[in-house]
Amino acid sequence: MKVLVVTPTYDERDNLEPLAEAVLASPVRADFLVVDDASPDGTGELADRIAAREPRFRVIHRAGKLGLGTAYVEAFRFALDHGWDAVVTMDGDWSHDPAYLPALVEATSRADLVIGSRYMNGISVVNWDLKRLILSQFANEYARKITGLAFHDCTSGFQCLTRRALEAARLDRIHSSGYSFLIELKYRVVHAGIVGVEVPIVFTDRRLGSSKISKTEVLRSMVTPWRLRFGRA
Ligand SMILES: Nc1nc2c(ncn2[C@@H]2O[C@H](COP(=O)(O)OP(=O)(O)OP(=O)(O)O)[C@@H](O)[C@H]2O)c(=O)[nH]1
Ligand SMILES: [Mg+2]
């Protein structure tokens, strides 16, 4: 199975090179695609240098910070157009450890949507302060209750989707441009009749660099579940 790991980046210069190394060394033999939004810190130029020496590494450059959701949609279209069988969505800050790639990919034998889940056996999050933990747990419970999605972790950004799931998601109709894309994607896939499973992961706070989640994004994530529930998806 041909797998494309996709990572949107915005100012991840110090994380990117070791992450690319780890992804390319994974036994899943995946290709790695970075979607960089003209990061001011030079992540895009670094990505070009890695691409020049690593045939399995690719980069899409966009003109400015256009959001996590639109970055993923662009990457998924690229994957569908160029013959990949599955994609893995992964953050570029080491919160999602490439060591889980085999488990995520292997589970596609059981389901077309595989979610790397932080909340399957209690809470598997390392290095978050209590405030952040409570916020994430709350956001997740909130999204679950309102959308009816049955996953323990329905806001997870570490997941594997097969071509079948991507096609079912109707990418042209996705509304969310930012982080709430992660909920909308799962919702669309499940409502298209695709089976989703969870595999446990341990999530670790970002290694280096800073968070890009804004207050507006948090607010949007509160509205999206209601929009999905009332069918304007
Ligand atoms: N291309 C692109 N990537 C983005 C954008 N916003 C965030 N990212 C990337 O999306 C991934 C997740 O963003 P983070 O800032 O780590 O968000 P988070 O994990 O909720 O917050 P932290 O706890 O600080 O890690 C990272 O790889 C970011 O670089 C964006 O607008 N465009
Ligand atoms: Mg992060």
Token pair in block for residue 79: 């994957």
CA of 212 to the centre of ligand 1 (A): 5
CA of 211 to the centre of ligand 1 (A): 6
Domains of the chain with CATH codes: 3-229 (3.90.550.10)
**162: pLDDT strictly greater than 70:** yes
| Parallel/antiparallel/unpaired status of strands 3-9 and 159-162 | unpaired
- Among all bound ligands, the one having the nearest atom to the CA of 11 is 1
CA distance 48 to 59: 7
Token pair in block for residue 34: 């970075």
- Among all bound ligands, the one having the nearest atom to the CA of 126 is 1
pLDDT digits (tens, 9 = 90+) for 173-230: 999 988 899 999 999 999 999 999 999 999 999 999 998 888 888 888 899 999 999 9
Beta bridge partners of 87: 4, 161
- Residue from 33, 212, 215 whose mutation best tests the ligand 1 pocket (most atoms within 8 A of CB): 212
- Residue 35 class from Cβ within 10 Å (0-12 exposed, 13-18 middle, 19+ buried)? buried
Nearest ligand 1 atom to the CA of 128 is: 23
Q: Report the pLDDT value the prediction gives residue 232, as an integer from 0 to 100.
A: 57
CA of 89 to the centre of ligand 1 (A): 12
- Among all bound ligands, the one having the nearest atom to the CA of 19 is 1
Q: Report the pLDDT value the prediction gives residue 117, as an integer from 0 to 100.
A: 97
